[in-house]
Amino acid sequence: MQSDNPGYVPTTLQTAVNWAQKFSLFTYPFATACCAMEFMSIMGSRYDISRFGAEFPRFSPRQADLLLIVGTITERQAPVLRRVYDQMIDPKWVLAFGVCASTGGFYQNYTVTPGADQIVPVDVYVPGCPPRPEQFLDGLMALQRKIQDHRGHAQIELGNTAMISMKDRRRLPIHQDGTSMGLSKEERMPRNGKVR
Amino acid sequence: MSKKALDILAGKAGDAILETASYLGDEMALVQRAHILEVLGLCKTDPDLDFAMLSDLTVVDWLGTEPRFEVVYILYSLQHKHRLRLKVAVPEDDAVIDSACSLWMSANWAEREAWDLYGITFRGHPDLRRILMYDEFVGHPLRKDYPQNGRQPLIRRPDATPTDDLTQRLLETSHDRRVR
């Protein structure tokens, strides 16, 4: 496979890649609040998200391609979330789990970010306080449809992901001097581990 | 319930106590600001009082009255099982009070929280900096005149929609370059 993006779009190959990706989502659970309790039951055997190929939580963002924002995101925590998102390998997707991650929920005050989409682009919002496991599975299936149709934020930004070689894919999200992809140089997080 | 402890304290502290009250087993003493450290020291060291534990230290903001703030110490005696609340009135233009860190280690974080959220300065505190809010935060959010939705974002997507006018105003006047 060539490393540069050719002028034509191999649509059948892209469809096959999207089909493979939608059934092999590696999740990174960014669990910050009580929604994480509900998420545990989804991971468990009764609801069992491994039926959808998403059973394997990776606790390193570099190995994950689905960021699950499970819980309230405070203003103080927002740079951490942005940094986790920036460290993930392309193509990547984001699912906001619960009203706090979607809109800030009932925390309409100075501490809480009004929705995680102020920080990172969110593909699927799952409402509920906390959501029922069925709601989450519905959202996961909606995300799978979105991946298959090539409508995810990262997919739209990257274009033809099927023709990006593994060498380029490893290079994509991480700059030589830092960790961020989508931010300008002065907006990037410093490398010494401090978020501010 | 702790009336005895309050009476002992009132007898020993003398002029430092401006006012005492007792309501449904809740004992309170209003203490002069200049003498708070010696009254607290008396509460801790006196064998009849023996308040070994500082349960909580908090602040009340009576916006519109003078003096504006009230620092509240909630003490508990592990030996005698009695409680006491000490209050100190603190004016807004001179919001300074002596630190109780030399008496109770637990006062360290409680006073940092009180400074963070109400802006009361504790004289003699070893490490008075913010504990709940981030260092870039401007103002003291639990003061009654702080706007409820006064968000001060550390980071935003460049294309994120501002959620309200106040956020927009704070974004424009923010000292933090990353939010622009």
Alpha carbon dihedral A124, A156, A146, A128, in 10-degree steps, equals 0
Considering only alpha carbons, which residue of chain A is nearest residue B156? Answer: A119
- Chain B contact probe: residue of A94, A111, A117, A118 with most B CBs at under 10 A: A118
pLDDT band at B113 (very low <50, low <70, confident <90, very high): very high
Within 8 A of B155 by CB-CB distance, chain A residues are 78-79, 82, 119, 187
Q: B117 — phi, psi (to 5°)?
A: -95, -25
Q: Which of B134, B135, B178 sits opposite A187 (nearest CB)?
A: B178
pLDDT score at A180: 42
Interface contact A119-B156, CB threshold 8 A:
yes
Burial group, residue A64, by CB count within 10 angstroms (0-12, 13-18, 19+): buried
Average pLDDT taken over every residue of chain B: 85
Q: Which of A113, A115, A186 sits opposite B177 (nearest CB)?
A: A186
Is it true that the peptide bond before A130 is cis, omega within 30 degrees of 0?
A: yes
**Comparing C-alpha atoms, which of B119, B117, B64 is closest to residue B97?**
B119
Taking only the tens place, the pLDDT of each residue in A12-25 is 788 888 899 899 99
Which residue type, as a one-letter code, is found at position A190?
Answer: P
pLDDT band at A4 (very low <50, low <70, confident <90, very high): low
Retrieve residue A66's tokens: 């689905």
Considering only alpha carbons, which residue of chain A is nearest residue B136? Answer: A196
Q: Which of B135, B150, B155 sits opposite A110 (nearest CB)?
A: B150
> Could you tell me if A94 and A65 are in contact, meaning their C-beta atoms sit under 8 angstroms apart?
no
Q: Which of A79, A110, A114 sits opposite B155 (nearest CB)?
A: A79
How close is the nearest chain A Cα to the Cα of B150, in Å?
5
Please state the domain extents for chain A: 11-187
| Mean pLDDT, residues A79-87 | 87
For the stretch B8-15, contacts whose Cβ atoms lie closer than 8 Å and that sit 24 or more positions apart, written own/partner, are B8/B46, B8/B48, B8/B49, B9/B39, B9/B42, B9/B43, B9/B49, B9/B84, B12/B42, B12/B46, B13/B38, B13/B39, B13/B42
Would you list which residues of chain A are within 8 Å, Cβ to Cβ, of chain B?
A: 75-76, 78-79, 82, 108-111, 113-115, 117-121, 186-187, 196
**Comparing C-alpha atoms, which of A86, A111, A104 is closest to residue A28?**
A86
Cα-Cα-Cα-Cα dihedral sign, residues B98, B101, B106, B108:
positive
Considering only alpha carbons, which residue of chain B is nearest residue A109? Answer: B149
Domains of chain B: 3-132 (3.30.460.80), 147-180 (no CATH)
CATH number of A11-187: 3.40.50.12280
Interface contact A76-B133, CB threshold 8 A:
yes
Percentage above 90 pLDDT, chain B: 47
pLDDT score at A178: 41
Task: Dump strand ranges (E) for chain B.
Answer: 17-23, 26-31, 53-61, 69-76, 83-90, 96-98, 121-123
Interface contact B160-A118, CB threshold 8 A:
yes
- Model confidence at B101: pLDDT above 80: yes
When mean pLDDT is compared across A78-92, A127-141, B55-69, the lowest value belongs to A78-92
Taking only the tens place, the pLDDT of each residue in B120-179 is 999 999 989 899 998 888 888 898 888 877 888 888 877 777 665 555 555 566 554 444
pLDDT score at A88: 86
